[in-house]
Structure 1
Amino acid sequence: MEKISISNVVEFRRKKTPTSQVTLINKLKTPKPKKEDAEEGGNYWIHSLSTIANVFKESTNDLILDKINVLLDKQEVANSRQTKSMFQKNIDILARFEEYDFTQFRPDFKLTYLKKPKDKSILVIEDLPIQVLPHHVFIYEEDGIKKISACWFVAKIKEYTFEELAIFTDALYRYLIKNYSEEYKVNPEFCIVIDTMNLNSIRYSEIASGSTLLNSTLAVMKKLFG
């Protein structure tokens, strides 16, 4: 086992029987290389999510239509039905964001985007290595205070529930606290996860006063890892 993604945590919660949970744990113990057009893994959503992340940073929605046209060309020459379906699902996501207002997810200050080294992506929670991979981590100054926030675009064919999105947001906030809180003040208002399938989003400020299902789920997973 190298690392556990937050989508793995959600997948575990969705398993309806102990047997199916154990099967997933065994797969995580000996991970196989992911294929690009494996429906929930690999780089299945890279075409849409990377473009949306670029639009967020560059503040121009024109990139979306350009990418849709590129994917339509690729879809036309794709050989397998599965690959054609992958392109179509990415196109569908991009279409939702053609006129989307991204400013609601950015503080109204000059932003500096930070690099996201892989060695900072792993959090140890319940003694398990949890990987957090936000699309953007950015810093800015407000009232003389250096602040930091982050955004993470996610997708799953069976859309995430509010509770599941909250797991992502909880992990994202912990990522910022662990890696940057000594130098910057983490702003929970702009620590945001956006579900690109249904346009739902959760800010950490919305869940800060409660608790999510992250730790309790990982505690169960830890027992099964043995």
Structure 2
Amino acid sequence: MRKITVKNLIDFKRKSDKSRITFVNNLKKEKNPESESGGDYWITSLSAISNTFKTENLELLDEKIEKLQGKISIAKDKRVKDQFQRNIDILENFKEFDLKEIKPNSKLNYIKQHKFDMIFDIKGLPIESRPRFIFSYSGTNDKEIGGIWFVAKLKGYSKTELGMFSEMIFRYLEKVYSSQYFVNPENCVAVDVTDGKGVKYKEIIDKKIPSIIESTIEELKKV
């Protein structure tokens, strides 16, 4: 079976028993899956939001909105126009987002990620964790590390589903970096950019949101 993404797990969880069989059979086929963050449909807004997170320059959002408006004016296909408009809506909403809610109050050192670190075994299956950024910083426990994962889906993710992304950030950082840093669950964050909803792994630790990664994998293995 090829690597399984968090999005794969969520899509599987949402399907009926009958549809799950076909879904799992497709997972066994080697193919290039859709981008974990949400595919090309959202790439414009996700890219701009990621750059804004890193630079804290909100003008980048306005620049991208202006470019998208220009594309709408010359696009002929309604579907394409709608795609651009949805990306604009996301960027407009994100302008009101408080970055302090999802960033440590410290200078961040962004760490280059390696693909071979991102796939690891959970319950006998190769699961991929691919956050947008991971970063180290000085915190309460001296050298700390965290990560952010911006995702998008047309009708959005539930908080429990977002928790799967934040948990995978934590598992990934624990596996690769725990010998060098304290992995802070408060700063393992997944954000659904379609509605600005965010979930920190700390919320799962505190039992505010259930952990369903392992139970979903067990369900998938039974199909």
Letter in 1 for 2:86: K
Q: Determine if the alignment matches structure 1 residue 216 to structure 2 residue 212.
A: no
Change (3 A) 1:121 1:76: farther
The answer on whether the counterparts of 2:97 and 2:196 sit within 8 Å (CA) in structure 1 is: no
1:32-91 deviations in whole A, cap 9, x for unaligned?
45679xxx9532211111111110110111100101111222233334333222222211
Task: Choose the corresponding residue for 2:75, options 55, 74, 78.
Answer: 78
Instruction: Determine the structure 2 residue equivalent to 1:27.
Output: 26
The answer on whether the counterparts of 1:34 and 1:42 sit within 8 Å (CA) in structure 2 is: no
The answer on whether the counterparts of 2:38 and 2:152 sit within 8 Å (CA) in structure 1 is: no
Instruction: Determine the structure 2 residue equivalent to 1:3.
Output: 3
Instruction: Determine the structure 1 residue equivalent to 2:54.
Output: 57
Alignment of 1:35-114 (within 5 A): 42-114=39-111
Take 2:153 and 2:186, find their aligned partners in 1: how far apart are those partners? Answer: 24
The percentage of counterpart residues that share the same residue type is 40
Q: What is the deviation of 1:99?
A: 3.1
Letter in 1 for 2:156: E
Instruction: Determine the structure 2 residue equivalent to 1:188.
Output: 185
The answer on whether the counterparts of 2:46 and 2:151 sit within 8 Å (CA) in structure 1 is: yes
Change (3 A) 1:143 1:214: closer
Change (3 A) 1:206 1:84: same
Counterpart secondary structure, 1:69: helix
Unaligned runs of at least 5 residues, structure 2:
none
The answer on whether the counterparts of 1:155 and 1:197 sit within 8 Å (CA) in structure 2 is: yes
Instruction: Determine the structure 2 residue equivalent to 1:147.
Output: 144
The answer on whether the counterparts of 2:141 and 2:182 sit within 8 Å (CA) in structure 1 is: no
Take 1:193 and 1:22, find their aligned partners in 2: how far apart are those partners? Answer: 29
Task: Choose the corresponding residue for 2:175, options 167, 174, 178.
Answer: 178
How many equivalent residue pairs? 220
Q: Determine if the alignment matches structure 1 residue 131 to structure 2 residue 140.
A: no
Unaligned runs of at least 5 residues, structure 1:
none
Q: RMSD of the TM alignment (CA)?
A: 2.0
1:125-173 deviations in whole A, cap 9, x for unaligned?
1211111111111101235711101111111112111211111111111
Letter in 1 for 2:19: S
The answer on whether the counterparts of 1:61 and 1:99 sit within 8 Å (CA) in structure 2 is: no
Change (3 A) 1:35 1:10: closer
Q: What is the deviation of 1:24?
A: 1.2
Q: TM-score, normalised by structure 2?
A: 0.91
Take 1:19 and 1:55, find their aligned partners in 2: how far apart are those partners? Answer: 42
